[in-house]
Chain A
Amino acid sequence: MSTTLDGLVGSEQGVPFALLDEESKREIRRALLHAVAVPGHQVPFGSREMPVARGWGSGGLQVTLAIVGRDDTVKVIDQGDDEGVNAVNLRRLVVSSTGVEETSEVHEATIIQSRHRIPEDEMGENHVLVLQVPVPEPLRGVERDTRELSRMHAEADYSRMWVSLYEDIVRNGVITQSTGYPCLVNGRYVVATTPIPRWDIPRLHDASFLTLFGAGREKRVYAIPPHTTVEPLIFDDIPFEVETAEGASCRLCGSAESFLVSAPGDDDSWSCSDTAWCRRRRQK
């Protein structure tokens, strides 16, 4: 989309570093600081219109652009894949508007923007994970009115969420929530975990990296600071279940210990969702 901007802006003005004007970036950083200070709390911000559409990572993109510095190295993945078309598009926007380095290797990256996955590789305190969030409100399934939702969060009244999980078990025998599993952060706020798979949820708990969530369309950011408790909402006698496929392993690298995706109905088509991780295993 950089040609889009070039065409409209004209060479005499040029595009600012990291696309947004400085005031906008400062405002987003203020919201992020607020979010880090109150883990899991959804902080409103003046979400700008980006060169990518709302719903296509505009929130994650604004977070990345607001925090990126000239010394950063960015990795962008979509579905775990650096080469997903949307990952490519977002990465070239970040890189072309900042001149920062890009990488597909977690250990080389300082900012990792992702949609729907946390990389399989270990991340440390030198990493910031930026997650693109389509729906930041974890309680929308049980309540639609934003005024009531504000009250529920303010009073930590998550009883209806618990009831809905209980009813799910009664009706279906299991909890049917697939991705974006609701989690209690720092013992206080329930958050929507983007939609990352349940597989990735344990990675958020007491992580040594900072996770920033950006919801551009709904104009909210929230954060999980390093070493913060992240507990999936679950009952004492019901185990939290991550995605499993018995006997499945990656047809490329043989991995049975990563999050695998497959073509429905084709048991031989399993492969790692995290393509950089898979490639490195094959090169070893």
Chain B
Amino acid sequence: MGYAAARGGLTAIKNAERLVRHLRDHDPSDPVGTAQVTGRLRLLVDKVMGEAGMWDPDLAARALLQAEGDHIEATHLLRAYRSTLPRVAVALPVHADDMRLLRRIVPAFREPGGPQVLGRSTDYSARMLLADAHAARDGTAPLLTSVMGKNGTTTRLTATLRRLDLLVDRRRTDDPEPVDVTSAPPRPPAPRSARLSAMARAETGSLINQWYRNILGPDGYLHEVTLGEVRHGELPVTLRHPHTGNPVTIGHYRATEVEAVEDLDGAGEDRERFDVGFGMCLGHNERKAIAMANLDIACHRDGGATTLEQSILMTTDGLDSAGFLEHLKLPHYVTFRSMIDRKFAVREARLRATGSGTQ
């Protein structure tokens, strides 16, 4: 079986890969371990896990190291790895109220049901570049956030609004299975679960841009919400035991959850009540969850009048957009040759039409 061609292409690729490894692995500084990445670049690891749709901090750290910190590339490594794995089980649904809260703020109310807990946040820190980011380590552990939740002392703002009959009731009585966007690619019109799943896996910057171009850009299909809940905390993964049938908690992950209260002001809308958008993603990523919650309610209110849903479903995935952008680097000899052919054809047609001959 002959593979007769000269192997120039392969040599070039292998050399490129050697250069990658050389620049990355032979730097004179100390190598970075995955524990350092998960411990010290926590938000980056969270972002990659969220966009990959896969909770595994160690693998995410390995992917980030391999990708030299390129978070899209790291996300790609995780998702491609996931493609090799069979799906062995589906976890039981979890209620967002089961979250062990690490942070919870309610911008809409000074005194919501339950505490406002700033938790870990740089929101109110002066953005001053420190000479040594670790110099402030003073040895005393900070005040740990109290563990709340599980029908405890926190009442969702939406529950309060519902009690006051200030919330449009869109709760469903049926309980449809959520769309698995990894096995059934959603196109408009799609169920809400498909939109939420797509946004949970979307590239963070892409969602932020989608939000902002609707605020200030040409689209304008949404307006600012008031945030009812911004939460970060830990949730259990619970499976039904294959033999006993009992629910078993096999692990935990962190997630960010946002409820966004919308002031309905449309002509045909309920002007006595609010509506609410929902955002949730893996890890600690508040920008993403907030953009998602606002886009969720915007999409509902849009009701298919515009192509907002198509934008959300089809243009926010980081691997799709980055991959297609970068494919422009591939050889396009054939298509370009064909384009040149048409350029000459148009010119000839014009010369023929104007009677100037073919030269």
Q: A residues near B, CB below 8 A? A: 3-5, 7-9, 15-16, 19-24, 27, 44-51, 53-56, 58, 73, 78-89, 92, 101-105, 108, 115-117, 134, 144-147, 150, 172-174, 176-180, 195-199, 217-220, 241, 243-245, 259-262, 264, 273, 275-276, 279
Contact = CB atoms under 8 A, between A and B. Distances in A.
A134 B310 contact: no
B1 A5 contact: no
A66 to B, nearest CB: 12
30 contacts: A15-B84, A44-B184, A45-B185, A46-B185, A49-B319, A50-B80, A53-B326, A54-B322, A54-B327, A55-B323, A55-B327, A79-B334, A83-B5, A85-B12, A86-B330, A88-B7, A101-B1, A108-B2, A117-B334, A146-B187, A172-B346, A173-B352, A176-B346, A179-B334, A195-B338, A197-B334, A197-B338, A241-B345, A260-B337, A261-B333
Given A145-B307, A172-B346, 11 more contacts: A5-B81, A21-B87, A53-B76, A55-B323, A103-B1, A104-B3, A115-B330, A146-B188, A176-B342, A179-B335, A218-B185
A9 B81 contact: yes
Contacts of B247: none
A217 B337 contact: no
Interface of B: 1-10, 12-13, 17, 59, 62-63, 66, 76-77, 79-87, 180, 182-185, 187-189, 304, 307, 310, 314, 319-320, 322-327, 330-335, 337-342, 345-346, 349-350, 352-353
Contact of B334 (A88, A173, A259): A259
Contacts of A87: 9
A11 B86 CA distance: 17
A50 to B, nearest CB: 6
Contacts, number: 204
Which of B86, B335, B337 has its CB near the most chain A CB atoms (within 10 A)? Answer: B337
B323 A58 contact: yes
A46 B337 contact: no
Contact of B346 (A4, A46, A173): A173
A84 B346 contact: no
Contact of B353 (A89, A173, A217): A173
A176 B347 CA distance: 11
Contact of B1 (A82, A108, A179): A108
Contact of B338 (A73, A174, A179): A179
B324 A217 contact: yes
Contacts of A20: 83-84
Contacts of A4: 66, 77, 80
Which of B77, B185, B342 has its CB near the most chain A CB atoms (within 10 A)? Answer: B342
Contacts of A103: 1-3
A166 to B, nearest CB: 15
B349 A174 contact: yes
Contacts of A199: 338
Given A178-B341, A217-B324, A219-B185, A9 B84 contact: yes
B327 A53 contact: yes
A16 B81 CA distance: 11
A22 B86 contact: yes
A115 B152 CA distance: 59
B182 to A, nearest CB: 6
A51 B80 contact: yes
Contacts of B10: 83, 88, 92
A134 B323 CA distance: 11
A45 B84 CA distance: 17
Given A23-B87, A46-B182, A245 B341 contact: yes
Contact of B62 (A8, A78, A260, A262): A8
A104 B187 contact: no
A83 B80 contact: no
Contacts of A15: 84
B337 A197 contact: yes
